[in-house]
Chain A
Amino acid sequence: GDQVEQSPSALSLHEGTGSALRCNFTTTMRAVQWFRKNSRGSLINLFYLASGTKENGRLKSAFDSKERYSTLHIRDAQLEDSGTYFCAAEDSNYQLIWGSGTKLIIKP
């Protein structure tokens, strides 16, 4: 079965609000990355975590290997945050297992 379950598949937020995306893992992962897809289809790396939390501007990510999940928090959402976000987890064989994406829409 799927080793990475990403939720929600779609999310709509009003400007200035916040929410969280989540990836659950069916097995222990070594690390997790979060990406955002740009207008050309490229996937821009937002975070790489082997443990703990990282923050960058209005984005914050957490990874708990033992509890088998990672989150990406967005606060004070802006229109330009709209897009599709992906998590990718590194398993014990250093293979990347991807979530299937969250389409985020920010409304004025």
Chain B
Amino acid sequence: AQTIHQWPVAEIKAVGSPLSLGCTIKGKSSPNLYWYWQATGGTLQQLFYSITVGQVESVVQLNLSASRPKDDQFILSTEKLLLSHSGFYLCAWSPQVSNERLFFGHGTKLSVL
């Protein structure tokens, strides 16, 4: 069975500090991977997606970056956090064959102070 693990569960960070959020998928080779962000409840915006190792496409510009160093790992990061980065971050994967079904992690709640 496939599992998705997202870390950390929650973070409180200072403005200007760096950030790294991680996501690992086990039991599925070559998944499509996604990062989502929700500011204040409501729409979850797709930030990045990746269909293969080393390739990441940006959907929304938020002064964040993403990388896929391994087939089963997706990292979201920034060198300097902004207040506007606060929110809820969600990682998801989908099978390569179809990108309609999504399987989600539990999410990370980020508070930037």
**Interface residues, chain A, with chain B CB atoms under 8 Å away:** 9, 35, 37, 40-45, 48, 84, 86, 88, 95-98, 100-101, 103
Contacts and interface: CB of A to CB of B under 8 A. Distances in A.
Contact of B101 (A41, A44, A95, A100): A100
Interface residues of B, number: 19
Given A40-B59, A41-B34, A100 B46 contact: no
Contacts of A96: 90, 104, 106-107
Interface of B: 34, 36, 41-46, 49, 59, 90, 92, 100-104, 106-107
B100 A101 contact: yes
18 contacts: A35-B44, A37-B102, A41-B49, A41-B59, A42-B36, A42-B44, A43-B43, A43-B46, A44-B43, A45-B43, A84-B101, A95-B106, A96-B106, A96-B107, A100-B102, A100-B103, A101-B100, A101-B102
Contacts of A88: 104
Closest 6 CB pairs of A and B: A41-B46, A98-B104, A43-B44, A103-B100, A45-B42, A101-B101
Nearest to A100: B101
